Structure 1
Amino acid sequence: MTVPTLIGRALAVPLMAIAFMALAVAGLGTEAHAATRVAVFEFELLDTSGEFDIRGPKPDEVHRLNLITDDMRQRLKEAGYEIVDLAPQDARIDEATPFRNCNGCELEIARDLGAQIEVIGLVQKVSNLILNINFQLRDVATGQVLRAGSADIRNNTDESWLRGISYLVRNRLLDPPLTGKAAP
């Protein structure tokens, strides 16, 4: 072997070791960075269709509200957010709902749960065939609205509600990607 080849091999081993150490340190940095904590409150129903029941949403509508809430939570989790468990504040949530009438009272609940951002949602039922799904994402510390969206859907089925929430998450909530405090 020639002298330049021997020197090249001698330098290659330490350089590879330095590169592996840099990769390991970079990996530790991303693991140490905590994901943004999000409180996703249950979607609510505002029935203005004239077929509302004074006892509240019908069982199939309660099912769909839970379905789209769970779907939004799952999509946010897959996007790298940490979803906060709301159970410790169930009594306060029950007392404060509907959130559309409480002038931001859910911010304190989200803050007490350790969330950095919150998501509230509302489905307005105009008729059995026309519904509107709305969401609002806010910074818990300031109350500032970071994102909001609305989607009109046709047909009162699981599939149409899920398509509406899918559209909102993909095109209003996560696109363009969230930055600052709202980033995962």
Structure 2
Amino acid sequence: MLVPRALPALAALLLSVPAAAAPDAAAVFGIELAEPGTIGPRPLRPEDARRLALASEALRREVAGRGLEPVDLGPQAAAIRRDAPLYKCEGCAETIAKAAGAALVVYGYVQRSAPQVLNLTITITDADSGKVLRGGQVVIQGDTDDTWLHGVRSLVKNRLFAEPLPNRS
């Protein structure tokens, strides 16, 4: 028989162990801005911050619309801030995703080539192995909300989910 005082400790132990990841659970991270040539973090321009949030939300909706279930990354916010930018942290996104109970990792970045030309890159990896399952890049011509959203939708439709993900059909 369990001593009543041991129940809270047992519950805390069970809650601290990450649950087994559902095969269609995906950690969809926010799209980041890559600025080559800059040293150290720079504050985002308000319109860039707004468009990154808009594109990130569109990516979450598109991923959910393809049968994957985005996990809540709120509890991992401190780790995400610490390890950012995720597109070049060498496996930290996968570690964060596994802690959130995700089997898949979706992350991306936008890189400005010229004032009206941007490159959007999105990658899907396996959280356990880090293996890239799918990835793609699209050029966005024009720096508007509509062009950013079109870039996300086009990349998801034509590159990321053009066929079923390996071992996930």
Correspondence 1:149 to 2:136: yes
Q: What is aligned with 1:124?
A: 111
State the AA in 1 paired with 2:35.
Answer: D
SS at match of 1:159: helix
Q: What is aligned with 1:45?
A: 33
Q: What is aligned with 1:158?
A: 145
Shift of 1:49: 8.6
Identity %: 37
Answer 1 or 2: which has greater helix percent: 1
Shift of 1:39: 0.3
Using the size of structure 2 for normalisation, the TM-score is 0.81
Correspondence 1:102 to 2:89: yes
Q: What is aligned with 1:77?
A: 64
Shift of 1:55: 3.0
Using the size of structure 1 for normalisation, the TM-score is 0.75
Question: Residues 87 and 108 of structure 2 are in contact (CA less than 8 Å); yes or no, is this contact kept in structure 1?
Answer: no
State the AA in 2 paired with 1:60.
Answer: E
Aligned length, in residue pairs? 148
SS at match of 2:76: helix
Unaligned ranges ≥5, structure 1 = 1-33
Q: What is aligned with 1:10?
A: none
Unaligned ranges ≥5, structure 2 = 1-21
Shift of 1:48: 4.2
Structure label with greater radius of gyration: 1
RMSD: 2.1
Question: Residues 35 and 80 of structure 1 are in contact (CA less than 8 Å); yes or no, is this contact kept in structure 2?
Answer: no
State the AA in 1 paired with 2:28.
Answer: V
Q: What is aligned with 1:25?
A: none
Structure 1 stretch displaced more, 59-68 or 40-49:
40-49
Shift of 1:127: 1.7
Once the two structures are superposed, residues 164-183 of structure 1 have per-residue CA deviations (whole angstroms, 9 ceiling, x without a partner) of 11110000111112241x44
Structure 1 runs (4+) deviating above 4 angstroms are none
Once the two structures are superposed, residues 119-177 of structure 1 have per-residue CA deviations (whole angstroms, 9 ceiling, x without a partner) of 11010011211100001100001110000000011111101101111110000111112
Q: What is aligned with 1:172?
A: 159
